[in-house]
A = this chain, B = another copy of it.
Amino acid sequence: MTNPIPAIDAAEVETMILTLGAIGAHSETGVWRTAFSDEWVAANALVKDWATAAGLTTRMDAAGNLWGRIEGRDGGKAIVSGSHIDSQCPGGRYDGALGVIAALVAIKTLVEAFGPPKRPLEMLSLCEEEGSRFPTAGFWGSRALVGRVSATDPDTVKEANGGTIGQAMQAVGLDPARLDEAKRDDIAAFVELHIEQGPVLEHADIPVAIVTGITAIRHTEVTLTGEQNHAGAFPMDLRRDPMAGFAEVTSRLIDHAYRMGRPAVTTVGRCHVSPNAPAIIPRSVTFTIDARHPIQDEATRMHAAHAAALTEIAERRGLGLETRVLFDHPGSPSDPALVAALEASAKRQGIPALHMASGAGHDAQQIARICPVAMVFVRSEGGRSHTPEEFSTIEDIVAGIQVLAGALYELAY
C-alpha cells in the first residue's frame, strides 16, 4: 500500500496548541475555559481565523458550536471531525482542544495536497462538553446537534451562581429560542480525536489507539443501614455495623471488576458515614458505585453481580439496603467501517495503533445517534487528565493526526 497522506507539520501543530492554550491559561500549563466565557469566545475566534485562512467557510450554530466547511465536488452528506473547546476548571491544553486542532490541520493538509474533496468535509468545535460551567449541561453542543436538548433548557439549566445557560448564550449573541436550528441530519460520519486520559497506551508503549466503542456507564447510590451503638459497650458479635458491610461490598465489587479484566472498571469514589464519629458504630453508610463496560452484555452481567453481592452481604449482616440508579448510559460501539478506515490509515502510514474501548464519555457517543462515529486516542503521559499536568508528546499527536487524516481522505476523497 502506498501512503498518499503528506507529513503533518509538527512545529505548526505545536504552535497551534500553545497559542490556543494561551487563551484561558491557568497555572503553568493549564487552561480554564468555560462555555460562553470571554476565553471561550476568544478561542473560537482564533479557530475561526485559522479555518478561514485554510479556505473553510465558518459559522457558529444556534447552540454555540463552531463549524468550518469545505464543499465536496459530488455533494452529499458531510464527513465531520472535531471535539470540544471548553475545559475543566482548570483542565489541560489537550482535553478537547486537541481534537479541534487535529480536525483543522488534517482537513487543511488534505485540501492543500489534493484540492477540494468529493464529499463535504467539516471541522467542528463543540460547546460545553465538560459541564464545567453548567453542571447538568454536559455534551451540550453535541446533544443540540442530535436534538437532545429541550426548549426549556435555556431557562432551567443553571450555573453555580444561578445564571441560566440561556442568559450566557444571549451574552455571546446566540438566540436561545433558535436552539432547535442546531440539529443536523446531513452528516455521513464523525471521527473525533482525543487524548486517551488513561495509561493504557503508555503501558503498551504505543502512540495511538483506534477506539472500538465508548463504555456503558452506570452510577448507583447505595445506602446500608445498621444499628448505631456505643463503640466500646457493644460486642462485635451483636453488632449490625454498616461500615463492615460497606467495606465487604467495596472489596467484593472492586475485586470483581479486577477479575473480569480490562476494560471492566468499578469505582467507589464517594462515601458518607452517619454520624461519622470515632467512638460510634455508624447508623448508615451511603456510597456510589461507578461501573463501566463497553460491551452492553458484559455491563449487564456486572450490574447483576453487584446487585447479588449487595443483597447477600446486606442480608447476612442484617443491614437495610437501598439502591438508586443515578443514571445508566448505554455503551456506544464505534462503526466497524470507520474503525476499518482508521486501521487501514494507520497501517498504510506504518503507525502502531492499539484497539481499545474508551472508559470515558465523549461527544462522539451523542453524535452516534445520527451517524456512524469512531475515535482516535493519543497517548497521555502518566494517564493524567482533568488537570493542568495532562500532556502528550508532539510525536504522538502528529501520529494521531496522520491516522485521522488518512481516514478522512478515504472517506471524503
Contacts and interface: CB of A to CB of B under 8 A. Distances in A.
Contacts of A26: none
Contacts of A248: 247, 251
Interface stretch (A49-57, A152-160, A198-206): A198-206
Contact of A247 (B229, B250, B278, B288): B250
B265 A270 contact: no
Interface of A: 196-200, 203, 215, 217, 219, 229-238, 241, 243-244, 246-248, 250-251, 254, 257-258, 262-271, 273, 276-282, 288, 290, 292, 326, 358-361, 383-386
Contacts of A196: 233
A236 B258 contact: yes
14 contacts: A199-B238, A231-B265, A232-B360, A233-B358, A234-B359, A236-B257, A237-B262, A238-B383, A243-B271, A246-B247, A247-B254, A269-B281, A270-B273, A278-B288
Nearest to A258: B236
Contact of A219 (B198, B241, B264, B278): B278
A216 to B, nearest CB: 11
A78 to B, nearest CB: 29
Contact of A251 (B231, B238, B244, B271): B244
A288 B280 CA distance: 11
A272 to B, nearest CB: 8
Contact of A279 (B263, B280, B290): B290
Nearest to A280: B269
Closest 5 CB pairs of A and B: A198-B233, A232-B359, A247-B250, A231-B267, A278-B288
Contacts of A269: 231, 243, 273, 276-282
Given A238-B383, A247-B246, A269-B280, A232 B262 contact: no
Contacts of A238: 199-200, 203, 383
Contacts of A292: 231-232
Nearest to A279: B290
Interface-centre pick from A199, A219, A235 (highest chain B CB count, 10 A): A235
Interface-centre pick from A233, A266, A280 (highest chain B CB count, 10 A): A233
A241 B243 CA distance: 18
Contacts of A251: 244, 247-248, 251
A198 B238 CA distance: 10
Interface-centre pick from A229, A231, A276, A281 (highest chain B CB count, 10 A): A231
Contacts of A247: 246-248, 250-251, 254, 268
A234 B288 contact: no
Contacts of A278: 219, 267, 269-270, 288, 290, 326
Contacts of A279: 219, 267, 269, 290
Contacts of A219: 278-279
Contact of A265 (B235, B276, B361): B235
A199 B258 CA distance: 40
B265 A232 contact: yes
Contacts of A386: 230
B231 A258 contact: no
Contacts of A257: 236
A361 B232 contact: yes
Nearest to A260: B236
Nearest to A268: B243
A233 B203 contact: no
A247 B200 CA distance: 26
A250 B258 contact: no
A270 B276 contact: yes
